[in-house]
Structure 1
Amino acid sequence: MSVSSEAAPEAPAADHPSGRLFAHAEFDAHPARSCHSLIRRLPAGTDAETVRANLTALTERHPVLGDMQLFDEALDVGAEHTAAHRRRTREAGRAVNGSPVIVRAVVLGYADGAADLVLVAHRRAVDRRALDQLATALADPAHPVTLPEPVAGGSLQGGPPELPWGLGAADQKGRTGTVELTATAVADDAAAAVPVAAAAVVLARYGQTERAGFTLITGDLAAADTQRSVALPVADATRVADLLDASAHAGAAGGEPLSGLSAVGVLLTEGRTGEVYRPVLEPVFPVTLAWQRHADGTLSGALHYDEGVLAPEIARQFAGHIDRLVAALAQAPADARVGDIELLDTAEAAAIVAAGRTPARGDTAVAPIHELFRKVVAAQPGATALSDPDRTLTYGELDARSDAVAAALRGYGVTPADRVGVCLDRDADLVITLLGVLKAGATYVPMDVAYPAERIVHMVTDAGARLVLSSRADFPAVDGVTVLQASELSRAAGEPVADLNVSADAIAYVIYTSGSTGRPKGVAVPHRNVGALLAATADDFGLGPADTWTLFHSSAFDFSVWEIWGALLTGGHLVVVPYFVSRVPEDFHDLLVRHRVTILNQTPSAFATLKEVDAERSADLALRLVVFGGEPLDVRSLQDWFRRHPHTRCRMVNMFGITETTVHVTSQTLTPQDVSARSRSVGRALPGWSLSVRDTEGRVQPFGVPGEIYVGGAGVASHYLNQEELTAERFVSDPVTGERVYRSGDLGRLRPDGRLDHLGRIDGQVKVRGFRIELGEIRSVLLEDQNVTAAAVVLNDHDGDAADVHLEAYLVPKHEAVSVEDIRQRAARFLPDYMVPATFTLLSELPLTVNGKVDVSRLKPVTPDTPAAEAPEAAQPADDPVLRVWREVLGKHVGPHDDFFVSGGTSLLAVRLSGALRRAGLPPVTLRELYVYPTAAELSELLTGRELVEEPNGTA
Structure 2
Amino acid sequence: MSVTSEAAAEVPAAGHPGGRLFARAEFGADPSRACHSLVRRLPAGTDAVTVRANLAVLTERHPALRDMQMFDETLDVTAGDTVAHRRRAREAGRAVNGAPVVARAVVLDYADGAADLVLVAHRRAVDRCALDALAAALADPALPVDLPEPAADAGPPQDGPPPELPWGLGDPAGAGRTGTVVLTATTVARDAAALPVAATAAVLAGYSGTEHAEFALITGGPRTPDTQRPVSLRAGAATSVGELLDAAARAAAPGGEPLSGVPAVGVVLTEDSAGDVYRPVLAPLFPVTLAWQYDTDGTLNGVLHYDEGVLDPVIAGQFAGHVDRLVGALAQAPAGTPVGDIELVDTGEAAAIVAAGRTPARGDTVAAAVHELFRQVAAARPDAPALTDENRTLSYAELDARSDTVAGALRAHGVAPGDRVGVCLDRDADLVVALLGVLKAGAAYVPMDATYPAERLVHTVTDSGARTVLSSAPGFPAVDGVTVLHPGELSRAGGEPVPDPGADPDDIAYVIYTSGSTGRPKGVAVPHRNVGALLAATARDFRLGPADTWTLFHSSAFDFSVWEIWGALLTGGHLVVVPYFVARSPEDFHDLLVRHRVTVLNQTPSAFATLKEVDLRGSAELAVRLVIFGGEPLDVRMLQDWFGRHPHTRCRVVNMFGITETTVHVTSQTLTPQNTGAASRSVGRALPGWSVSVRDAAGRVQPFGVPGEIWVGGAGVASHYLNQEELTAARFVSDPVTGERLYRSGDLGRLRPDGRLDHLGRIDGQVKVRGFRIELGEIRSVLLEDPNVTAAAVVLGGDTDDAADVRLDAYVVARHDAVSVADLRRRAARYLPDYMVPATFTLLSELPLTVNGKVDVSRLEPAAEVAADTPGTAAGEPADDPVLRVWREVLGKQVGPDDDFFAFGGNSLLAVRLSGALRRAGLPPVSLRELYVHPTAAEVSALISGRETA
Same fold (TM over 0.5): yes
Q: Relative to structure 1, is the Cα distance of residues 452 and 136 closer, same or farther in structure 2, using a 3 angstrom cutoff?
A: same
* Residues 720 and 726, structure 1, Cα contact 8 Å, conserved in 2: yes
1:566 alignment partner in structure 2: 567
Aligned pair in 2 of structure 1 residues 499, 145: CA closer, same or farther (>3 Å)?
A: farther
Structure 1 stretch displaced more, 155-164 or 925-934: 155-164
* Offset of residue 585 of structure 1: 0.6
Instruction: Kindly state the Cα deviation for residue 634 of structure 1 after the two structures are TM-superposed.
Output: 1.0
Change (3 A) 1:380 1:78: closer
- 8 Å CA contact 2:176, 2:308 repeated in 1: yes
Aligned counterpart, 2:488:
487
Q: CA deviation at 1:210?
A: 2.9
Deviation at 1:330, TM superposition (A): 2.6
Q: CA deviation at 1:342?
A: 2.2
Using the aligned pairs only, state the percent identity. 77
1:197-246: per-residue Cα shift (whole Å, max 9, x none)? 22122222222233222222212233222222223333334332332222
Q: Structure 1's 736 and 253: CA in aligned 2 closer, same or farther, altered over 3 A?
A: same
TM-superposed deviation, 1:603: 0.6
1:185 counterpart (184, 187, 191)? 187
The alpha-carbon deviation at position 271 of structure 1 amounts to 1.6
The letter for the 1-side match of 2:915 is: S
Structure 1 segment 110-189 matched on structure 2, within 5 A: 110=110, 112-141=112-141, 143=143, 161-187=163-189, 189=190
Aligned equivalent of 1:241: 242
1:523 is matched with: 524
Aligned equivalent of 1:224: 225
Provide the residue aligned with 1:396 in structure 2: 397
Deviation per CA, 1:556-611: give whole Å up to 9, x if none. 00000011111111111111000000000100011111111111111111111111
Q: What displacement does 1:533 show?
A: 0.8
Gap change, CA 1:481 and 1:41, over 3 Å in 2: same
Q: CA deviation at 1:440?
A: 1.1
Alignment of 1:615-654 (within 5 A): 615-654=616-655
Question: What code does the residue aligned with 2:101 have?
Answer: V
Q: Per the alignment, do residues 811 and 145 of structure 1 end up closer, same or farther by CA in structure 2, a change over 3 Å counting? A: farther
2:938 is aligned to 937
User: RMSD value over aligned CA atoms?
Assistant: 2.9
- Assess, with a 3 A threshold, how the Cα gap between structure 1 residues 847 and 284 changes in structure 2: closer, same or farther: farther
1:680 corresponds to: 681
Tell me whether 337-346 or 455-464 shows the greater mean CA deviation. Answer: 337-346
CA contact (8 A) 2:162 2:310 kept: no
Aligned to 1:774: 775
Could you tell me whether the CA contact under 8 Å between 2:25 and 2:31 is conserved in 1? Answer: no
Does structure 1 retain, via aligned residues, the 8 Å contact 2:40–2:117?
Answer: yes
Structure 1 residues 22 and 138, CA gap change in structure 2 (3 angstroms): same
The 3 A distance-change label for structure 1 pair 221 and 814 is farther
Secondary structure in 2 aligned to 1:177? strand
Query: What code does the residue aligned with 1:696 have?
Result: A
Distance 2:798 2:697 in 1: 27
**Conserved in 2, the CA contact under 8 Å of 1:77 and 1:83?**
no
- Tell me the residue number matched to 2:104: 104
Contact 1:183–1:301 (CA<8 Å) still a contact in 2?
A: yes
Structure 1 residues 207 and 552: CA distance shift in structure 2, 3 A = same
Is 2:551 the counterpart of 1:537?
Answer: no
C-alpha deviation, 1:157, in angstroms: 13
- Which letter maps to 1:670? L
- Alignment gaps of 5+ in structure 1: 1-13, 950-956
- For 1:504-519, list aligned pairs within 5 A: 504-519=505-520
Shift of 1:863: 8.2
Letter in 2 for 1:30: D
**Contact 1:403 1:436 (8 Å CA) reproduced:** yes
CA distance in 1, matches of 2:147, 2:749: 48
Paired letter, 2:516? G
* C-alpha distance after superposition, 1:410-452 (max 9, x if no partner): 1211111111111110011111111111111111111101111
Q: Which residue of 1 aligns with 2:919?
A: 918
Letter in 2 for 1:484: L
CA distance in 2, matches of 1:865, 1:157: 50
- Counterpart of 1:95? 95
Distance of 1:109 and 1:862 partners within structure 2: 82
- Does the aligned pair in 2 maintain the 1:133–1:144 contact within 8 Å? no
Aligned position for 2:71: 72
Which whole-Å CA distance do the structure 1 matches of 2:671 and 2:210 have between them? Answer: 33
* Contact preservation (8 Å) 1:273, 1:295: no
With structure 1 as the length reference, what TM-score do the two structures score? 0.92
Q: In 2 relative to 1, CA 866–456 (structure 1 residues): closer, same or farther, beyond 3 Å?
A: closer
Alignment of 1:800-879 (within 5 A): 800-860=801-861, 873=874, 877-879=878-880
Residues 183 and 304, structure 2, Cα contact 8 Å, conserved in 1:
yes
Quick check: 2:820–2:869 contact (8 Å CA) kept in 1? no
Farther off after superposition, 351-360 or 845-854? 845-854
Note if contact 1:382-1:394 (Cα within 8 Å) is conserved in structure 2: yes
Compared CA separation, residues 728 and 128, structure 1 to 2 (3 A): same
Provide the residue aligned with 2:9 in structure 1: none
Give the counterpart letter for 2:351 in structure 1: A
Match of 1:3 in 2: none
Q: 1:314 to 1:76 in 2, by over 3 A?
A: closer
Counterpart amino acid of residue 73 in structure 1: D
Task: Say whether 1:39 aligns with 2:50.
Answer: no
CA distance in 2, matches of 1:313, 1:239: 30
Kindly indicate whether the alpha-carbon contact (under 8 Å) linking 1:529 and 1:662 is maintained by their aligned counterparts in 2.
yes
Q: Residue 109 and residue 755 in structure 1: after superposition, are their counterparts in 2 closer, same or farther (change >3 A)?
A: same
Do residues 374 (structure 1) and 375 (structure 2) align?
Answer: yes
Name the CA shift for 1:895/1:125 in 2 (closer, same or farther; >3 Å). farther
Aligned equivalent of 1:547: 548
C-alpha spacing 1:544/1:258, structure 2 compared with 1 (3 Å): same
1:926-954 Cα deviation digits (max 9, x unpaired): 001111111112211221222233xxxxx
Tell me the CA shift for residue 839 of structure 1.
1.6
Distance in 2 between residues matched to 1:362 and 1:465, nearest whole Å: 37
In structure 2, the CA distance between the partners of 1:466 and 1:706, relative to structure 1 (3 Å rule), is: same
Q: Is 1:478 equivalent to 2:479 in the alignment? A: yes
Question: Structure 1's 67 and 554: CA in aligned 2 closer, same or farther, altered over 3 A?
Answer: farther
SS in 2 for 1:224: strand
Stretch of structure 1 that moved more, 621-630 or 87-96? 87-96
Query: What amino acid does structure 2 have at the position aligned with 1:130?
Result: A
Judged with a 3 Å threshold, the aligned counterparts in structure 2 of structure 1 residues 887 and 150 are, in CA distance, closer, same or farther, namely farther
Partner residue in 1 for 2:358? 357
Distance 1:168 1:28 in 2: 16
* Correspondences of 1:247-262 after superposition (within 5 Å): 247-253=248-254, 258-262=259-263
Q: Which residue of 2 aligns with 1:4?
A: none
In the alignment, the residues of structure 2 paired with residue 813 and residue 259 of structure 1 have an alpha-carbon distance, to the nearest angstrom, of 51
TM-score by length of 2: 0.93
Secondary structure at the residue paired with 1:302? strand
| Structure 2 residue 902 is matched with structure 1 residue 901 | yes
CA distance in structure 1 between the aligned counterparts of 2:245 and 2:579, rounded to whole angstroms: 66
CA contact (8 A) 1:230 1:256 kept: no
Q: Give the secondary structure class of the aligned counterpart of 1:778.
A: helix
Give ranges in structure 2 of 5+ residues lacking alignment. 1-13
1:208/1:695 contact within 8 Å kept: no
Is the CA contact 1:272–1:295 (under 8 Å) kept in the aligned structure 2? no
Size of the alignment, in residue pairs?
932
Relative to structure 1, is the Cα distance of residues 815 and 862 closer, same or farther in structure 2, using a 3 angstrom cutoff?
closer
Encode CA deviations 1:125-164: one digit per residue, 9 max, x unaligned: 322122212222333445456899999x999999754212
Pair 1:30-2:2 in alignment = no
The letter of the residue matching 1:639 is: Q
Report what 1:8 is aligned to: none
d(CA) in 2 for partners of 1:862 and 1:24? 51
Check 1:61–1:658 CA distance in 2 against 1; reply closer, same or farther (3 A cut).
farther
**1:395-415, Cα deviation, whole Å (9 max, x unpaired):** 111111111111111121111
Structure 2 SS opposite 1:620: coil
TM superposition shift of 1:640 = 0.7
Cα distance between partner residues in 1 of 2:67 and 2:369: 83
Q: Is the 8 A contact 2:388 2:577 kept in 1?
A: yes
Give the 3-state SS of the residue equivalent to 1:910 in structure 2.
helix
Give the C-alpha shift of residue 635 in structure 1: 0.9
Residues 77 and 84, structure 1, Cα contact 8 Å, conserved in 2: no
- 1:7 matched residue in structure 2: none
Q: 2:346 maps to which residue?
A: 345
Q: How far apart are the structure 2 equivalents of 1:332 and 1:145?
A: 46
- Report deviation, 1:765: 1.0
Q: Distance in 2 between matches of 1:465 and 1:760?
A: 34
Distance 2:114 2:18 in 1: 40
